[in-house]
Amino acid sequence: MGVRFKGWGIGLPDRIVTNDELSLTLDTSDEWISERTGIRQRYVGGTARSLGVIAGRNAMADAGVEPEDIDFCLLATTSPDRMAPATAVLIANDLGLTCPAMDVNAACSGFMYAVRVAQGLLETGNKRILVIGAEHLSKWVDWTDRNIAVLLADGGGAAILEYDPDVNDVLSFVLGADGSGADLLTCEHEGTFTMDGREVFRRAVRVVVDSSQRALELAGITADDLALIIPHQANIRIIQAVADRLGIGMDRAVIALDRYGNTSSASIPLAFDVARTEGRIKTGDYALLTGFGAGMTWASSVVKWS
């Protein structure tokens, strides 16, 4: 099956909030946040729609495609602007798209779930899919709760996936969901996020390692063959634990949480952008994209950049 990543783009709010700024109103410190999470600052503002539009427009420009070239618009988000309609429909309209559009909510695994859905849509005759991950998590944060406020942030990232019979960028996929963990990280209607951080940490390492190992096996490669791991950006200590267990040096891990915090569905495309900006995306290289999040959900995929 020929699936090719054709273009990427990101969208960020204007406002940067540093750890020091959070320390003015919360019982926390730059030292604690940096050491325990790796986060130094985050972007706050916009909406899932506005950030998704910027990311989507940038991805379309990067791919050199026009609105009529897009057959489907998928938005991965945990923080849609409205209950109805789907925020993907609002974004599609702003981008001049008239194709089908829908939201996918798999929390922080959302972007990878949406890529998986896009792969299926390409197999059933669609030519080009716009996949966006965009979040306005700050709206659902209790800014007096230091357990959450130092972690979550806003942002958007997007990619165009195209059918191309001559190449295949997506070599394997392992997804899963375990609803027994639903209350570990949750947000009720009109509520705010709450989290059992330690238990989420413990389970995250386990599911990311297991699903990554299976994704490598399905792709027929080993961790030694990977040029990069592009993980969900929740906590640098989770990334270190995963890399360690998989036998991947941290020099091959892409880190974006230092500047962006945890942007849930947007975190993997934002991390891809960091890797590309740093000149680390090379034709023919294998990369492991792996996410986990509320649910719990997880998704790991081995890609080979064409």
CB of 132 to ligand UT7, least distance (A): 18
At how many degrees (to 10) do helices 236-246 and 30-37 cross?
A: 20
Q: How far is the CB of 64 from ligand UT7 (least distance, A)?
A: 33
- Give the separation between CA 266 and CA 95, rounded to whole angstroms: 18
Q: List residues near ligand UT7 by CB under 6 A.
A: 28, 32-33, 36-37, 108, 146-147, 150, 185, 197-198, 200-201, 204, 234-235, 238, 262, 293
272-to-41, 89, 103, 267 alpha-carbon distances in Å:
18, 25, 21, 9
- The tokens for 52 are 């998704």
- Which residue numbers are catalytic? 108, 232, 262
Could you please report the per-residue DSSP string of 50-112?
Answer: HHHHHHHHHHHHHHT--GGG--EEEEE-SS-S-SSS-HHHHHHHHTT--S-EEEE--GGGHHH
Instruction: Look at residues 92, 90, 100, 89 and name the one whose alpha carbon lies nearest to residue 56.
Output: 92
Of the candidates 239, 245, 107, 232, which has an alpha carbon nearest to the alpha carbon of residue 182?
107
Q: Considering beta carbons, is residue 46 or 261 the nearer one to ligand UT7?
A: 261
CB of 197 to ligand UT7, least distance (A): 3
Chain residue whose CB lies nearest ligand UT7: 197
CB closer to ligand UT7 out of 37 and 50:
37
**Shorter beta-carbon distance to ligand UT7: residue 145 or 225:** 145
Q: How far is the CB of 144 from ligand UT7 (least distance, A)?
A: 12
CB of 134 to ligand UT7, least distance (A): 15
- Residues paired with residue 158 on neighbouring β-strands, in sequence order: 9, 132
Comparison of 161 and 187: residue with beta carbon closer to ligand UT7: 187
Taking the complex as a whole, the smallest distance from the CB of residue 28 to ligand UT7 amounts, in Å, to 3
Q: Which is nearer to ligand UT7, 7 or 181 (CB)?
A: 181
Nearer CB in complex with ligand UT7: 35/68? 35
153: left (phi over 0), alpha (psi -120 to 50) or beta: beta
Q: SS3 for 213?
A: helix
Q: Is 260 exposed, middle or buried (0-12, 13-18, 19+ CB in 10 A)?
A: buried
19: Cα separation from own chain's centroid: 22
